[in-house]
């Protein structure tokens, strides 16, 4: 018994000493911005009965007022007196660390677990956050009674664990924040670990799997845990991923997308856009048919210098909102001319070809038109037909023998086969096509627009002005 307790004390002391120097490295990384700062944290968790008793130690705090954000389920929030200065900066209402020279403060609280510790359940919203603070380094200690066996997962690298006569102990430590906690009874165990990924599974992984895992490319080195199987809540953690099958391909894709969602604020973007971004950032082919086709098209359009610039544009968007139109602006910067390639493909069932756009405002008889697109293709200037013709007073529909455009006095049919068109029941030969389809959408060519629909076109640096020369 004395040996077990002594071994436990020596284990904790040794590992803590090894980590002390790492804490010192991060102590000098305080952000100079008055509203943002970096800090390190050490969290002690003890499971007792039907609750987690937590002691949360904050290190490298700035000499400014810091707002404390308690977990929503926290009970008995209080100071944890480790030294006489442990709570010297804590306000009376427990919601602020007041400005002060002491850079280390400690708090304690309880997270109740209704029904006690449950196997295969992801626990969220457990830890205190500091407003405007970024966690640079975390260490987590977890202790349970010795009769509670199982595997803890935090998303941080597992440093060590021991089963002693009175207590089971696990320690995790690494860069970044820890937000979730997971515990499973049974034979789940850490099977393989790299700088970026820890793999927890029931059975040992093969040598071939381990070799492939070590070669995988990711978006960053922030550690993440991959657990075999699903948890009861069907949720994914911030740094804990659950996969029904543990394969290197599944791990790479899911980890990269988890990292991608943490790095970028994607707003209403389809998955294929994320696949395109991830593929360029990693230099790997990720995603389905649509993403693969779009990547191939874009890559073929770019020189080596433009590819480098495109990668820089994607890197510059980290931490920012990403939408199809924002990616279009980044792509336009690369080419030096505007394109709506991503936006057009979001709105198209087919894969829209790579085209450049005329971004000037379009007016018809002095009224601005928001829905008319102007694109360049094969040396032609094309206007979106449906919207434009409707504004000119025509109905435009797709029919069995072509594209029909009609007003009260004029009727056109543009057949599916090339070489002619029909106007008011009379056939006319055509060397080029007045109406063309691009990714299933109809466009009218500029010179034919003027000739057939009696439109005069005036262009300035800012506008395209369409003037009707006859009442339609």
Q: How many CB atoms lie within 10 A of CB 472?
A: 14
Average confidence (pLDDT) over 219-225 = 91
pLDDT for 2 equals 39
Angle at 206 between CA 170 and CA 218, to 5 degrees: 70
* Residue 350 confidence (pLDDT): 86
Question: Region 350-372: what's the mean pLDDT?
Answer: 91
Q: β-strands 37-48, 441-445: how paired? A: unpaired
Task: Count CA atoms within 13 Å of residue 129 on its CB side.
Answer: 15
| Per-position DSSP letters for 265-313, written without gaps between them | EE-S--HHHHHHHHHHHHTS--S-HHHHHHHHHHHHH--HHHHHHHHHH
Averaged pLDDT, 160-183? 92
- Mean pLDDT score, 13-32: 45
Q: Please determine, for residue 21, whether its predicted confidence score (pLDDT) is greater than 80.
A: no
Confidence of residue 26 (pLDDT cuts 50, 70, 90): very low
- pLDDT of 409-464, one tens digit each? 999 999 988 899 999 999 999 999 999 998 888 999 999 999 999 999 999 989 99
Model's pTM, two decimal places?
0.71
Average pLDDT along the chain = 89
CA distance 144 to 126: 17
pLDDT at position 136, please?
Answer: 95
Phi, psi for residue 432 in degrees, rounded to 5: -115, 170
Inform me whether the pLDDT recorded for 470 exceeds 70. Answer: no
User: Tens digits of per-residue pLDDT, 59-88?
Assistant: 999 999 999 999 999 999 999 988 888 999
Question: Is pLDDT of 248 > 50?
Answer: yes
d(CA 18, CA 96): 31
pLDDT digits (tens, 9 = 90+) for 33-56: 457 999 999 999 999 888 999 999
**Residue 30 reports pLDDT greater than 60:** no
Mean pLDDT of the region 265-292: 90
> Quick one: average pLDDT of 165-176?
92
Whole-angstrom distance, CA of residue 200 vs CA of residue 346? 38
Lowest mean pLDDT among 229-233, 402-406, 462-466: 229-233
Q: Read off the pLDDT of residues 90-144 as tens digits, 9 standing for 90 and up.
A: 999 999 999 999 999 999 999 999 989 999 999 999 999 999 999 999 999 999 9
Edge-to-edge strand ranges of the sheet holding 380-384: 356-357, 374-377, 380-384, 441-445, 435-438
Nearest-angstrom CA–CA distance, 142 and 52: 10
Is the per-residue pLDDT at 18 higher than 70?
A: no
The predicted structure's pLDDT at residue 3: 40
Arithmetic mean of pLDDT, 16-32 = 45
359 is written with which tokens? Answer: 């971004």
Q: What is the pLDDT of residues 198-211, one digit of tens each?
A: 999 999 999 999 99
pLDDT for the residue 471: 53
**Taking residues 321-337, what's their average pLDDT?**
94
């Amino acid at each position: 018994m004395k040996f077990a307790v002594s071994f436990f004390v020596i284990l904790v002391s040794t590992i803590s000493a090894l980590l002390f120097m790492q804490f010192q490295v991060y102590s000098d990384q305080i952000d100079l911005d008055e509203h943002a700062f970096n800090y390190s944290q050490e969290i002690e968790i003890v499971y007792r009965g039907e609750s987690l008793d937590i002691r949360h130690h904050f290190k490298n705090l700035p000499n400014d007022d810091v707002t404390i954000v308690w977990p929503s389920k926290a009970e008995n929030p209080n100071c944890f007196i480790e030294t006489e200065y442990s709570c010297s900066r804590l306000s009376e209402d427990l919601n602020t660390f007041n400005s002060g020279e002491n850079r280390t403060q400690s708090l304690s609280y309880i997270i109740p677990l209704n029904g006690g510790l449950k196997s295969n359940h992801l626990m969220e919203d457990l830890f205190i956050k500091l407003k405007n603070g970024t966690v640079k380094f975390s260490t987590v200690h977890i202790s349970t009674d010795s009769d509670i066996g199982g595997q803890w997962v935090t998303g941080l690298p597992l440093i060590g664990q021991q089963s002693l006569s009175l207590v089971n102990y696990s320690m995790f430590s690494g860069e970044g924040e820890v937000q979730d906690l997971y515990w499973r009874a049974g034979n789940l165990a850490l099977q393989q670990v790299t700088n970026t990924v820890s793999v927890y599974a029931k059975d040992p992984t093969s040598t071939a799997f381990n070799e492939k895992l070590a070669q995988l490319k990711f978006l960053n080195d922030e550690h993440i845990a991959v657990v075999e199987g699903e948890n009861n809540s069907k949720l994914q953690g911030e740094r804990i991923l659950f996969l029904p099958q543990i394969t290197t391909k599944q791990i790479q894709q899911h980890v990269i997308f988890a990292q991608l969602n943490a790095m970028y604020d994607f707003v209403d973007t389809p998955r294929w856009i994320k696949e395109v971004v991830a593929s360029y950032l990693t230099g790997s082919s990720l995603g389905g048919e649509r993403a693969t086709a779009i990547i191939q098209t874009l890559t073929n359009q770019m020189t080596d210098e433009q590819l480098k610039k495109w990668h820089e544009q994607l890197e510059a968007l980290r931490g920012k909102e990403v939408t199809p139109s924002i990616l279009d602006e980044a792509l336009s910067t690369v080419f030096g001319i505007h394109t709506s390639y991503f936006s057009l493909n979001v709105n198209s069932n087919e894969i829209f070809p790579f085209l450049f756009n005329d971004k000037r405002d379009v007016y018809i008889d002095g009224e601005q038109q928001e829905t008319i697109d102007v694109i360049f293709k094969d040396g032609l200037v094309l206007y979106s037909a449906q919207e434009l013709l409707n504004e000119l007073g025509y109905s435009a529909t797709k029919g069995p023998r072509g594209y029909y455009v009609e007003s009260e006095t004029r009727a056109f049919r543009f057949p599916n086969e090339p070489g002619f068109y029909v106007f008011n029941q009379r056939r006319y030969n055509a060397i080029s096509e007045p109406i063309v389809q691009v990714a299933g959408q109809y466009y009218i060519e500029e010179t034919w627009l003027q000739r057939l629909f009696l439109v005069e076109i005036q262009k300035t640096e800012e506008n395209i002005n369409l003037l009707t020369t006859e009442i339609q």
